[in-house]
Structure 1
Amino acid sequence: METEHAWKGLAAIVPSPAGRSIEDLLSPRPRRQALTGFDADYSDIVDYIIRCTHRIWEEKNVGLCRSHYGRDCSIHTLAGPVTGAEAVVANTLATLAAFPDRSLIGEDVIWSEDAPGLFHTSHRIVSLMTHLGDDAFGPATLRRAQVTTIADCLVRENRIIEEWLVRDNAHLLRQLGIDPWTVARSQAETDRAEGSAGHAWRGEEIMRVLDGGGLVAHPPADHPAAGPAAMLEMAVNAARLGDASHMMSVSAEGSWPSGRKWVGRGGWIGAMNQLTAVLEASRVVIDHWAATALPHDEIAVALRWSLAGRHVRQGVYGPATGRQLLVLGVSHYRIRNGRVVEDVTVFDELAVLRQLAGGLGA
């Protein structure tokens, strides 16, 4: 999938943003990576992601979305697809109307060059913001919130041509004092009123996952993503959580949706089991993988994955509904000495609840 193992050969040329100051990240520098068709002021693919995000969100130059997203780009979210640069502009303006002080802290950009000039970036962001304007969730609450987002982008010649976006929306709502189930049920009512035609994508994705499709090729055995990919597949598809957890350091720390924090192998097993134990015949497929080098001989791995199964048991999402469930997730792992020492996993639990409430074509 990668033309060159970025984690091996390009670390010194394109360093990770992890641990660097914003002043360093935004300092002008000469081109240090081949970027055919990109604006001249971007020095490398990490600089492109960090700098254009800063210009659009912190500097509020939202119109730059038109020169950084393809006219007909596809944006995939668990709540449903969005198409086109103009939709990105409109959604960004709407978010800033509700959270005008929103600032984005880029924690990492894990990337690969999947073909010459075709980059895949996985950008982990922590957003700090105050709910100062009315929005689709309701009237302004004037509350502060912090939420984690991961944006996987396919980039060619200065434009994002496809994006997969996951955000911890249920955790955001709870910080604003809004009940996620109330919002999910309201969204589900709208879905039912509009009919299922607009949500055919969900059924297609569930069938793809249950059929085991989507993975172009497993990471090579010597690639850092091979271990985490096998770990997820073993835990979900084979239900061998104990064996899978051996990829984890005994002191690993994790951050999962809705503010869940855990420590150690038992903590990871608990987080995975909360998601899969309520499902019948759950299955996960790895849709993309990448790795980049970090300081101190650590490696960052990004896995984008899709999971499906039937909700047949009571658990973290309430009583069983019998409905088919789809989850789109991204996991960022920090690896030291061959073991995962940190797991940041993000998926949209509000969109999960929306499906279980009977929305999104259920």
Structure 2
Amino acid sequence: MMTEPTDLMQGFDPAFRDPAHYILDITQRIWEGRGLPLIRDWYAADCPVRTPLSETRDVDTVITGTAATLAAFPDRELLAEDIILAPRSPGFYSSHRIFSPMTHLGPGSFGPPTGRAVKVRTIADCLCRDNRIVEEWLVRDQGAIARQVGLDLLSLALNFLRPGPDGGSPGPNALIARWTEPGEPIQFGDTAALAPLLEALTRLWQEGDFQQITRLYDRAASVCAPGGEEWVGYRAVEAGWFGWLAALPLGRFRLHHLICRTDPGQPVRAALRWSYHATHSGGGQFGPASHRPIVLLGLTHWEVIDGRVRRDWTLIDELSVYAQILAPKSAG
């Protein structure tokens, strides 16, 4: 059993009982309670927010983005499936997996309203101290949203790349959030127990070694995969990851952050933040090979039973991949 340091909530409002209560309460009050001005209270003014398509350091941008999402999906609910925590004394690091049912009722980045029901997952990793989020990494399954509202991801990426008011458009470098981090990955918990799984995951991505599937996953594993897909069992998991690795083969997989929780009454739970650098040199998943450099930015949650992953939630933003493929070569 893990015990949390006593100073975990040092500097936080005493109204928050513990880290999970803090994350749940501020999420509900900002989003479902429409408390957008509260973002200034709970985000540092210069908080870096990194997504697969952007990196911002301005709290006003967080407010603007939240408002835009609510305008398009005003009935969005944020249902916490899990919060995987690690101490960062003083303060803590949280990896928050959210399931959101919502309806496309307003205009926005996904086009005019369609009235279609949407279900989507997001994972938000937050470093929190002194009653504020001071750093955030966020991946939303935009491919799942696009498919459910009837949009083609290629067209959506082209729309994203349209020239702005200054006449310019983002180049490949401008599209890739700076997820490359120096040094060894930050790790918390009994991560040694996950070593065989992490080795299998790395070999799967870097070597395209699909024999690692049986070493990594339980025979009845369920993978909640990008695009809102679910793969169950070895054959489905193999076919699913093959689609990605055939298009982006033999790249470099890097783990940046790892939490391993061994809490009573629960399976071993892990939260991974990782990147994969490759070249779009294969066909299939993302169309004909473009030979463009691509960076995948991944957030993953695992439930591990008897030394194998039984449930896997992996979020990768497909829209960011298309945007990197299509970005003007002369820009960025």
- Do the two structures share a fold, i.e. TM-score over 0.5? yes
Residues 26-175 of structure 1 aligned to structure 2 (within 5 Å): 34-113=8-87, 115-175=88-148
Change (3 A) 1:164 1:34: closer
Q: Which residue number in structure 1 is paired with residue 153 of structure 2? A: 180
Deviation of residue 230 (structure 1)?
2.0
The RMSD of aligned alpha carbons is: 2.6
Q: Secondary structure at the match of 2:224?
A: strand
Equivalence map 1:276-287=2 (5 Å): 276-287=245-256
Aligned to 2:231: 262
Are 1:302 and 2:271 an aligned pair?
Answer: yes
Corresponding letter in the other structure for 1:183: L
Distance 1:185 1:329 in 2: 22
- Deviations, residues 7-35 of structure 1 (Å, cap 9, x unaligned): x323xx79xxxxxxxxxxxxxxxxx8741
Contact 1:229 1:303 in 2 (8 A): no
Q: Distance in 1 between matches of 2:151 and 2:117?
A: 13
The runs of 5 or more residues in structure 2 that have no matched partner are none
Once residues 194 and 89 of structure 2 are traced to their aligned partners in structure 1, the CA distance between those partners, rounded to angstroms, is 21
The one of 313, 319, 323 equivalent to 2:282 is 313
Residue 143 to residue 170, structure 1, CA distance change in 2 (3 Å): same
Query: Equivalent residue of 2:260, what SS?
Result: strand
Equivalent-residue separation in structure 1 for 2:214 and 2:244 (angstroms): 15
Q: Give the residue type in structure 2 aligned to 1:314.
A: G
- State the shift of 1:65 in Å: 0.9
Q: Deviations along 1:203-249, whole A, 9 cap, x unmatched? A: 965xx48xxx5533677875444343222212112332313531211
Map Cα deviations across residues 324-349 of structure 1 (whole Å, 9 max, x no partner).
11110111100112221001101111
Cα distance in 2 for residues equivalent to 1:218 and 1:39: 27
CA separation of 1:227/1:53 partners in 2, compared to 1, >3 Å: closer, same or farther? farther
Q: Shift of residue 79 of structure 1?
A: 1.0
TM superposition shift of 1:296: 3.4
Deviating beyond 6 angstroms after TM superposition, the runs of 4 or more aligned structure 1 residues are: 218-221
Q: Which runs of 5+ in 1 are unaligned?
A: 1-7, 15-31
Query: Equivalents in 1 of 2:44, 2:174: separation in Å?
Result: 24
Matched position secondary structure for 2:211: helix
* Preserved contact between residue 224 and residue 301 of structure 1 (Cα < 8 Å): no
Shift of 1:56: 1.0
CA spacing shift, 1:301–1:97, aligned 2, 3 Å = same
